[in-house]
Amino acid sequence: MDLGNLEKVLAGEPAFRLGQAKQAVFRDLIEDWQEATVLPLSLREKLSKDIPLKVVAEISVSKDKKTIKALINLKDDLKIEAVLMRHQDRNTVCLSSMVGCPLACEFCATGKIGFKRNLTIAEIINQVLLFNRYLKKENQRVNSIVFMGMGEPFLNYDNVLGAIRVLNDQDYFNIGARHISISTVGIIDGVEKLAKESLQVNLAISLHAANDSLRSEIMPINKNQSLGEVLKSVENYFKTTRRKVMFEYIMIAGINDSLKNARELTGLLAGLKSTAFMVNLISYNPTGIFKASTPKQIKDFKSVLEKSGIEVTQRYRFGQTIKAACGQLAADKT
């Protein structure tokens, strides 16, 4: 059993015990039930047996101390990675939703290791718990989440949404929904389901190419669901939620970064009925096969988009030196 079973394990106890246990784990950030001295000894012992609190991980810290990567050991000895990024005013955690990933995108290190299994709700929230414990000594907390680690969140929809509810809940992590983002290749079923949840989480779509033949080459999932179908589901999402969508676009030298590619992207997005979107240009982080676009190429690409009135941002690079950047998570020791 794990933290997801806390209510079940405490079902026979007086109701206030659940509140005390949650307070101990999620506010006081205890790492061992023996520290929860408000609970009777016998209950602490039962909880120690049924719900282990320890998260076993190896931590690496980048030279500038802004990126902290955790290689977490799961019960079945598989490993995942999660990354804490320390911005001036925010502590963002990049979460994994799977061990490995079945999508096999050409540019992504996680795709290369294949799919092992989905993570449980507890395994997802444990990644945040670990970093809250890490930040405790500085009196800080994780206050923003991106599902951009290993795996495709919408192929583990129920557990990802279950975890988001716990992260959002005031009694647990109290992280505002607006500070939680899901990044997906655009699994249509997931986009449609998310639109119907009444949750203000952010949606990011990994686009990376503006035509079907190139997108299918670098993202095999595109052979099953075309760009047109993905964009249609995004338009429906917008109609229902009125929430702005982010399109992610990795800049890979000689593959998708020409000015012709930029004009094609402009044309594709101009076809959308809504204008509530932005494009996030991401430098390709080396994973062995491709090369990153030069800063000049990115600048020129960006100005083509901007000239046609598209809002563009560039993602700050975190953690390349410790292989903690987007697409580099492969849990080397899996």
Known catalytic residues? 81, 326
Residue among 172 and 284 whose Cβ is closer to ligand SAH: 284
Which residues lie across from 67 on neighbouring strands?
Answer: 85
Does residue number 127 form part of the binding site for ligand SAH (CB under 6 A)? no
Residue among 26 and 111 whose Cβ is closer to ligand SAH: 111
Interface with ligand SAH by CB under 6 A: which range of 231-239, 262-270, 282-290, 305-313?
282-290
Strand spans (E) along the chain? 57-61, 67-73, 79-86, 91-94, 98-100, 115-118, 144-147, 180-184, 202-206, 245-251, 277-283, 312-314
CA atoms within 13 A on the CB side of 19: 3
Phi then psi for residue 144, to 5 deg, are -155, 145
- Binding ligand SAH (rule: CB under 6 A), the pick from 160, 185, 305, 330 is 185
Interface with ligand SAH by CB under 6 A: which range of 24-32, 43-51, 74-82, 181-189?
181-189
Does residue number 247 form part of the binding site for ligand SAH (CB under 6 A)? no
Interface with ligand SAH by CB under 6 A: which range of 16-24, 54-62, 230-238, 278-286?
278-286
Q: Name the one residue in this structure whose structure tokens are 């083509």.
A: 304
- Binding ligand SAH (rule: CB under 6 A), the pick from 120, 256, 287, 293 is 287
Residue among 291 and 307 whose Cβ is closer to ligand SAH: 291
CB-neighbour burial class of residue 308 (10 A; exposed 0-12, middle 13-18, buried 19+): middle
Whole-number CA gyration radius for the chain: 21
Residue among 26 and 284 whose Cβ is closer to ligand SAH: 284
- Binding ligand SAH (rule: CB under 6 A), the pick from 24, 248, 262, 266 is 248
Q: How far does Cα 318 stand from its chain's mean position?
A: 14
- Binding ligand SAH (rule: CB under 6 A), the pick from 127, 206, 222, 241 is 206
Residue 43 in tokens: 């209950």
Interface with ligand SAH by CB under 6 A: which range of 51-59, 66-74, 235-243, 280-288?
280-288
Residue among 135 and 330 whose Cβ is closer to ligand SAH: 330
Q: How far does Cα 164 stand from its chain's mean position?
A: 11
Does residue number 318 form part of the binding site for ligand SAH (CB under 6 A)? no
Binding residues with ligand SAH: total (CB under 6 A): 16
How many C-beta atoms lie closer than 10 Å to residue 54's C-beta? 9
Q: Under rule CB under 6 A, which residues in 47-86 are in contact with ligand SAH? A: none
C-alpha closest to that of 204 among 181, 229, 227, 232: 181
Does residue number 282 form part of the binding site for ligand SAH (CB under 6 A)? yes
CA atoms within 13 A on the CB side of 37: 1
Q: Under rule CB under 6 A, which residues in 135-174 are in contact with ligand SAH? A: 148, 152
Residue among 4 and 153 whose Cβ is closer to ligand SAH: 153
Interface with ligand SAH by CB under 6 A: which range of 51-59, 79-87, 235-243, 277-285?
277-285
Does residue number 181 form part of the binding site for ligand SAH (CB under 6 A)? no
| CA gap 52, 136 in Å, rounded | 20
Distance between the two ends of the chain, CA-based, in angstroms? Answer: 23
Q: How far does Cα 31 stand from its chain's mean position?
A: 24
CB-neighbour burial class of residue 220 (10 A; exposed 0-12, middle 13-18, buried 19+): middle
Q: Under rule CB under 6 A, which residues in 86-125 are in contact with ligand SAH? A: 107-108
Does residue number 250 form part of the binding site for ligand SAH (CB under 6 A)? yes
User: What is the contact surface with ligand SAH in residues (CB under 6 A)?
Assistant: 107-108, 148, 152, 183-185, 206, 248, 250, 282, 284-285, 287, 326-327
